[in-house]
Amino acid sequence: MKFVYILLGLIIFGGVAYVSWFSGNRIQNALLLKLNNAGSVLGYFLSCMTVTLAVIAWIRRQDIRNWLRRSKFEGVGEPFDVPVEKVVATVIPISRREQPEWILRWLTPNTYP
């Protein structure tokens, strides 16, 4: 999708550049002034949005930090779908302190002498 936006921007920029630079005075100065004003207004709007979002991010920085540091262990605390008879070994990740206990509680792996 980004490629489409980049391509569209290049086509628009290329068209305006071609009409204004290479075709002499075919484009009217009033249209160029309107395009210039529209670009200035768009730049001002984007600057205001950037400052606003920066202030909001600074105010909610703890929520953002917690969201970025969250663990993505889906299905934790639910029973396994695998029958106990089919479990030969268990790999216990140590990324969370409560995970090994949870795994061993739900599965009792076969032990080999």
Looking at the structure, tell me whether residues 54 and 20 fall in a common domain: yes
| Angle in degrees, CA 36, 40, 45, rounded to 5 | 150
Looking at the structure, tell me whether residues 78 and 54 fall in a common domain: no
Looking at the structure, tell me whether residues 45 and 82 fall in a common domain: no
**pLDDT beyond 60 at 52:** yes
Looking at the structure, tell me whether residues 10 and 24 fall in a common domain: yes
Looking at the structure, tell me whether residues 53 and 82 fall in a common domain: no
**pLDDT beyond 70 at 64:** yes
Least confident of 10-14, 65-69, 84-88: 84-88
Looking at the structure, tell me whether residues 9 and 62 fall in a common domain: yes
Question: What pLDDT is recorded for position 75?
Answer: 63
Euclidean distance between CA atoms 45 and 61, whole angstroms = 24
Looking at the structure, tell me whether residues 90 and 55 fall in a common domain: no
**pLDDT beyond 90 at 50:** yes
Burial of residue 27 (number of CB atoms within 10 Å: 0-12, 13-18, 19+): middle
Tell me what the mean pLDDT of segment 4-12 comes to: 86
Question: What pLDDT is recorded for position 101?
Answer: 73
Looking at the structure, tell me whether residues 63 and 85 fall in a common domain: no
Higher pLDDT among residues 40 and 24, named by residue: 40
Looking at the structure, tell me whether residues 82 and 50 fall in a common domain: no
Highest mean pLDDT among 5-14, 55-64, 79-88: 55-64
H helix runs in the chain, sequence order: 2-17, 29-59, 61-69, 99-106
Provide the domain count of the chain.
2
Looking at the structure, tell me whether residues 63 and 12 fall in a common domain: yes
Range of the domain at 84: 73-113
What confidence tier does 93 reach under pLDDT thresholds 50, 70, 90? low
Give the end of a domain, one of 32, 47, 68: 68
Looking at the structure, tell me whether residues 7 and 60 fall in a common domain: yes
Looking at the structure, tell me whether residues 17 and 52 fall in a common domain: yes
